[in-house]
Amino acid sequence: MGITKFMTPEIIFGTHSLSQVGESMLRLGAKKVFVVSDPGVVNASWVEKAIHYLKECKLDYYLWSDTTPNPKDYEVEVGVKAYRESGCNAVVGIGGGSAIDAAKSIALLGTNEGTIHQYEGVDHVARPLPPMVMVPTTAGAGSEVSQFSIIVDSKRKVKMTIISKSLIPDIAIIDPQTLMTKDARLTANTGMDALTHAIESYISLAATPLTEVYSLQAIRLIAKYLRPSVASQHNREAKEAMAMASLQAGIAFSNAILGAVHAMSHQLGGFLDLPHGEVNAILLPYVLEFNMISSPEKYKNIAAAFGENVNGLSLTDAAQLAIKAVKDLASDLDIPDSLSNLGLQEEQLDFLSHNAVQDACMVTNPRDMSATDVKMLFHKVLRCEF
């Protein structure tokens, strides 16, 4: 094994840990805090609570909550203008992956020149970012601990993958009680996003013994607790377990990167503005089937993490159990099994496939994929030809 790096923020985890947001910002030298969120999280009162804790620490703040699902480049531009004019010197993101990705991109352009488009790809950030504290309110994205920010290029209709160690927040605060205001559909979609992070990071070409531990434990937790978490908003044990699973999957994929599921879902999210977690959930079994020949031993371990009995099975049979376990979970959560009802058209596949093979996440997919391979998979998912 060559030289590897493993990076995480400071992590504060537990019920009522949101109360640490003010003290955390103080420790980072904040004077005035730029708070980034979205209307849904504001309505759920989590932003109000965070601001209360900032005020307790006598910190001034500016609230900007104009983010949408799949944050757009022009939204980031507006946020950056507000950040610069507000006189803030630190950033707090409160919300799901969209709000946190927007917060990180605003922080990036708060100290770096140009537009967000110039930072697409890997390691293009030249100057340090302002202090960042991120508070996730969903169990799925993992952006609060990752070196990723995903922003839609509205002209190209493509999700830009921005990767830099500079985007790893200083402090991540994970408070499981924030999950109790999410409905069943959002809980299912974000949970399947976390599962995709765990599985793709586990079979990634960049996986290491450190990342694999986090990936497998996240799979175990999701296999056990995602169904009960979707079933009840008030199941505290399930919410705590899913918050931990999302955190562990986020740590894993930040360091091991991802694969073809994300390379493909980024295109669908950017082009059709679809829910990221749901698209990942639909694509995951198809991509797993394509990738299976690359690492059947790891697929056997995934099946075991789902609680499947793999004793005495051939590698191929055990690997097939892993794919079946993923499909069964998605089915139990009422995830669609094809893209046909989400607006995807046959004539769009060439464009989407060409862009997918250029996505940064494709580099670490364990099996080489051409645009023709991607188009074939898109076609199978469109037609539900599993």
| Mean per-residue pLDDT pooled into runs of 10, the chain (386 residues) | 84 97 98 96 95 97 94 96 97 96 98 96 94 97 95 92 95 97 95 98 97 98 98 97 98 96 93 89 96 97 97 95 97 89 86 94 97 95 80
Half-sphere exposure of 115 (CA within 13 A, CB side): 12
Query: Same domain for 109 and 57?
Result: yes
The strand pairing partners of 155, in sequence order, are none
Q: Which of 145, 179, 213 is the last residue of a domain?
A: 179
Question: Does a structural domain hold residue 200?
Answer: yes
Examine the fold and report which residue of 148, 179, 210 is the final residue of a domain before the chain moves on.
Answer: 179
CATH code of the domain in which 220 resides: 1.20.1090.10
Q: 204 and 346: one domain?
A: yes
97 and 216 part of one domain: no
Do the Cβ atoms of 366 and 294 come closer than 8 Å?
Answer: yes
pLDDT of residue 274: 84
Residues 218 and 249 in one domain: yes
Are 256 and 358 in a shared domain?
yes
Residue 50 domain-assigned (yes or no):
yes
Residues 274 and 338 reside in one and the same domain: yes
Residue 154 in contact with residue 113, Cβ under 8 Å? no
Count how many domains the chain has: 2
Q: What is the pLDDT of residue 386?
A: 67
Look at residue 5 in the predicted model and tell me its pLDDT.
Answer: 83
Residues 117 and 203 in one domain: no
286 lies in some domain: yes
Residue 100 domain-assigned?
A: yes
- For residue 5, being part of any structural domain is answered with no
Residue 373, pLDDT score? 97
Whether residues 157 and 237 share a domain: the answer is no
Q: Looking at the structure, do residues 248 and 329 belong to the same domain, yes or no?
A: yes
| Chosen domain end from 179, 204, 232 | 179
pLDDT at 272: 84
236 and 256, same structural domain? yes
Residues 294 and 187 in one domain: yes
Which domain, by its residues, includes 233? 183-383
**165 domain residue, yes or no:** yes
Is residue 16 domain-resident? yes
Residues 88, 140 within the same domain: yes
Q: What is the CATH number of the domain that holds 92?
A: 3.40.50.1970
Q: Tell whether 215 is covered by a domain.
A: yes
